[in-house]
Structure 1
């Protein structure tokens, strides 16, 4: 048995692709997509422009949330990274949480309660 290691990932970006809903053999909704990230990061004391696209997958209730998102929506996705398949070792973010950032103040949603 292998030791468990940390695998937690969070990224802010824009949803650039949302696929068609499919279902696992057990009837669980599965939805794949892509997020595009752009930022400035500091590396060894120097600013660096970072741009990337990352494949994402949502399962269950998260798939239903992703299915109603608009392309171009800003989102913060949190989850874990896994290989796409046994044949393709490309990384895929498996979504645990989705936070839509549009209409928020840096991801903090305003409350309508008085």
Structure 2
């Protein structure tokens, strides 16, 4: 999924001592549904655990990247959480600095 990093929490550690980083991602795209174009946009809560926290921590807020992972439940079981397992950052545009 291509998305921008909207928010990033502070690096924390699980009880087992594994690094974890909470984030919020924003995805926007043009898709075709039933033969008609449609614009979609959504925000999703995300979590990186382990080695991926280094790459996630290096992203600038607003930077776009390609994220891979899987969906799971939030801690309270009342929503979805995107677990990031891989990311490839897109370069920041020169005018964004």
Normalising by structure 1, report the TM-score: 0.77
RMSD of aligned Cα (Å): 1.1
Question: What are the Cα deviations for residues 52-88 of structure 1, in whole angstroms up to 9, with x where unaligned?
Answer: 0011100111012111211011111100100012x33
Residue in structure 2 matched with residue 21 of structure 1 by the alignment: 11
8 Å Cα contact 1:29/1:64 also seen in 2: no
Would you tell me which structure has more helix in proportion to its own residues?
A: 2
Moved over 4 A (4+): none
Matched, 1:12 2:2: yes
Residue in structure 1 matched with residue 90 of structure 2 by the alignment: 101
Give the unaligned 5+ runs of structure 1.
1-10, 104-114
Normalising by structure 2, report the TM-score: 0.89
Determine the C-alpha separation between the residues in 2 that align with 1:40 and 1:88. 30
Matched, 1:64 2:33: no
Give the unaligned 5+ runs of structure 2.
93-97
